Amino acid sequence: MPGARSAGTENANKTGDFRSVASRDRGLLRFWGHSAVLGAPTKRLPRTDHRYAPIMAPVIRPIEPRDLPEIQAELETHWHSTQIWSLGRMHQADALPGFVAEVNGAFAGLVTLHMDPGGWQCEVITLSSRMPAGGVGAALLAAAERHARTAGCRRIFLTTTNDNTHAMRFYQRQGWCFCTLHKGIVDRVRTVITDLPLLGFHGIQVRDEIEFERWLADSAN
C-alpha cells in the first residue's frame, strides 16, 4: 500500500502544507503515482530569467546502471521513496527502464516507464526535471512517447493527483488529454493507510488520481 507517515501530518493538515511535512518525514512517505511531488514547488519565473535558460539543449539517453545513485536521489527528492504507487500498483521505480536527461554532462531529469504485459500500452511512472522551464520535462516526455511508439504501444498514460495542478497544465501543454478520473482512490487508500497526509499542493485535499493519456496510433493526438 502507499506510504506511511509519521508525526507532522497533523501540523501539515493545520497549516495546509503537505510538502513541508513530507520533507520532515523523509523515507516514510510513499505516495500515489505522480502525486508525490514533494520537493519545492516549481516557481514560474519569466522565461527570460537566466536561471531558467538551459546552457544547452538536454541530451536524452536511456537509463544506464551507472545512473542508479542519481536516480535514487531524484526519486527521493520528489517522492521520498523509490517505491511509487499508481492505480493500486506499486512500482520499484529505481529498477524501471526509462530515460535520463543531461545538460552540460550533468544529470538534469528522469522519466521511468512501465510496459504493460503484452506491450499494448506504457505507463509513465515518474517524470521529474531539475531545470524548471528549461525544456527537460518536455524532452523526457517526448522520449517516453517515442519509446512507447517504437515498442508498438498504442497508448501511453500516467496519473497525477488532483492537487498537482502544475503537472496537469504541463501535460496538457504537451498535448496529453485527461481521460479518467479515479475518484476517491486516494481516500480509499487512506482508509488503510490512515495517516496519509490529507493536503497536497496549494492546500488542496488529495483525494483522486487523474489519468492522462496519449494515443500513439493516432497521429492527430
Query: Which cell numbers in the block locate residue 143?
Result: 522520449
Rule CB under 6 A: is residue 179 a binding residue for ligand COA? no
Rule CB under 6 A: is residue 186 a binding residue for ligand COA? no
Rule CB under 6 A: is residue 34 a binding residue for ligand COA? yes
Rule CB under 6 A: is residue 127 a binding residue for ligand COA? yes
Query: Which cell numbers in the block locate residue 16?
Result: 495546509
**Number of amino acids touching ligand COA (CB under 6 A):** 25
Among 29, 60, 96, 136, indicate the residue that binds ligand COA (CB under 6 A). 136
CA torsion through residues 150, 151, 156, 159, sign: negative
Among 96, 164, 208, 210, indicate the residue that binds ligand COA (CB under 6 A). 164
30-57 CB burial, b ≥16 within 10 A, e <16: bbbbbbbbbbeeeeeeeeeeeebebeee
Rule CB under 6 A: is residue 129 a binding residue for ligand COA? yes
Q: Output the residue with the shortest Cβ distance to ligand COA.
A: 137
Query: Residue 141, Cβ neighbours under 10 Å: how many?
Result: 24
Separation of alpha carbons 27 and 45, rounded Å: 31
Strand, helix or coil for residue 51: helix
Cite the DSSP H helix spans in 45-130: 68-79
Rule CB under 6 A: is residue 133 a binding residue for ligand COA? yes
Rule CB under 6 A: is residue 75 a binding residue for ligand COA? no
Whether 125 contacts 96, CB under 8 Å: yes
Choices 65-73, 80-88, 132-140, 144-152; region in contact with ligand COA by CB under 6 A: 132-140
Q: Which is nearer to ligand COA, 111 or 196 (CB)?
A: 111
Rule CB under 6 A: is residue 134 a binding residue for ligand COA? yes
Q: Which is nearer to ligand COA, 46 or 117 (CB)?
A: 46
Query: Which cell numbers in the block locate residue 31?
Result: 505516495
Q: Which residues bind ligand COA (CB under 6 A)?
A: 34, 37, 42, 47, 52-54, 78, 127-129, 131-138, 160, 164, 166-167, 170, 173
